[in-house]
Structure 1
Amino acid sequence: MLEPDKDFLIKLAHTKMPYGKYKNRDLIELPEYYVVWYHNKGFPKGKLGDMLQTVYELKLNGLEDLIRNIKRQFPK
């Protein structure tokens, strides 16, 4: 897993999927099967890919609430 910093996690907590079937859904709220599909297919390049990879690792380890708590503590 990437070693995200505080700012990265805060940004992740507020980032929405920019395209596709789940456009405008918070990344942490994407269905697990969809994130696993990206993991198998290959994550996009850049910041979105880094965030999706982090979401994959969080979901794999049952840590989604970490991001939900960050979103509540650091509202936009």
Structure 2
Amino acid sequence: MKPEDLQLLVTRSMPFGKYKGRLIADLPGHYLNWFARAGFPPGEIGRLLALMQEIDHNGLAGLLEPLRPR
């Protein structure tokens, strides 16, 4: 993980699927867990989804709040 990945979680939108357009940090846990079981997509989006799944799974999503744009 790179420190700037945390900022990307609160600024990058999901580019495809049921939650297209929703911020990665706002994706529901069940959707992130589905990716964890089925496999994350390749590239940056997969890396960010895996990171968000780990954050959500460990109950740390609140740590992203100070990074959100106002």
TM-score, normalising length from structure 1? 0.83
2:12 counterpart residue number: 15
The aligned length equals 70
2:33 counterpart residue number: 36
1:27 aligns with 2:24: yes
Question: Matched residues, percent identical?
Answer: 36
Q: Which runs of 5+ in 2 are unaligned?
A: none
Runs of 4+ aligned structure 1 residues displaced above 2 Å come to none
Amino acid aligned to 2:46 = G
Separation in structure 1 between the aligned mates of residue 25 and residue 57 of structure 2, nearest angstrom = 12
Deviation string 1:52-73 (CA, Å, 9 cap, x unpaired) is: 00001000110111122211xx
TM-score, normalising length from structure 2? 0.89
Query: RMSD over aligned Cα, in angstroms?
Result: 1.4
Separation in structure 2 between the aligned mates of residue 66 and residue 60 of structure 1, nearest angstrom = 13
Separation in structure 2 between the aligned mates of residue 64 and residue 44 of structure 1, nearest angstrom = 21
1:65 aligns with 2:62: yes
Which of 38, 51, 59 is the equivalent residue of 2:48?
51
